[in-house]
Amino acid sequence: MLLVLDIGNTNIAIGVFGDDSDGKQGDLIGHWRFSSLGRTGDEAGLLLENLLNSHGFDKSLIDGAILCSVVPRMEEVWRDAVSRYIGIHSLVVAHDIQFGMKVDIDHPEEVGADRLANAVAASEKFGYPLISVDLGTAINLDVVSAEGAYIGGAIAPGLAVSMETLFSRTAKLPQVALRAPARVIGRNTINAVQSGIIYGYAGLVDALVEGMFAELGAHVPVIATGGHAEILAAHSRTITNIEPWLTLDGLRIIYGRCAG
């Protein structure tokens, strides 16, 4: 079995892939999402052990691990946890490992490992060119060219970050649920905030995607992932597919390419 970890600024997604009949990584047979902040190596290790045990996974059958991280301090914590509590070393995704995709941008060392994993997974499933859109703490749009190279993208603040900023700086605005109101014209404060966040961010994504279409010279598949993918995709005119665990699948593919 393969253990995969996607360590973000707010959350960590953990997955386990089973083995297929050929001994290669098969389906995603377990997946979880937790807060990624404020854990020690022991806390992370015990969490991993408890997750595996509670779902009937024997940790001795895990023979590979891979992680991507945008938080250097937490990367070390989870690498240590996997090493000491699972007993294996983790492959860490970076631009300079040989994972089968050219990184053709000005400063390859700056690109987030999760963005590379998304690009790899989307390309494997949908071909290229394409655009992947990760709707999490930040909104990452990443482009794979017709030649199969990662060529960059765009980054914007995520929905939750924008809502937290709005509420912290405007005393009279109430906290609201992150869902779309029935109308764009909100007839009360709650609906007005929901409209601005949901429809506004759907418009932001569409505007960026359409600008990328123009630069690519074609309309291409747009694959959405992340915690807010379903919310925004329902109101986007450019998102074509939703893949909730795209990053984890990208980690599986990269591990297979590097370990094979």
Strand order in the sheet with 91-92: 25-35, 11-19, 2-7, 64-69, 91-92
CA dist., res. 229 & res. 85, Å (int):
33
Residue 20 bears catalytic tag:
no
Q: One-letter amino acid identity for 174?
A: P
CA dist., res. 43 & res. 144, Å (int):
37
Catalytic pick among 96, 106, 114, 249: 114
Q: What is the dihedral of CA 47, 230, 257, 5, to 10 degrees?
A: -10
The set of residues, in sequence order, having a beta carbon less than 8 Å from that of 227 and lying 6+ positions away, is: 11, 33, 135, 136
The set of residues, in sequence order, having a beta carbon less than 8 Å from that of 217 and lying 6+ positions away, is: none
Encoded tokens for 193: 């905030």
CB 217 within 8 A of CB 93: no
CA dist., res. 47 & res. 38, Å (int):
13
- Within the chain, strands assigned E span 2-7, 11-19, 25-35, 64-69, 91-92, 130-135, 138-144, 150-157, 222-225, 241-242
SS3 84: helix
Which sequence positions are flagged as catalytic?
Answer: 114
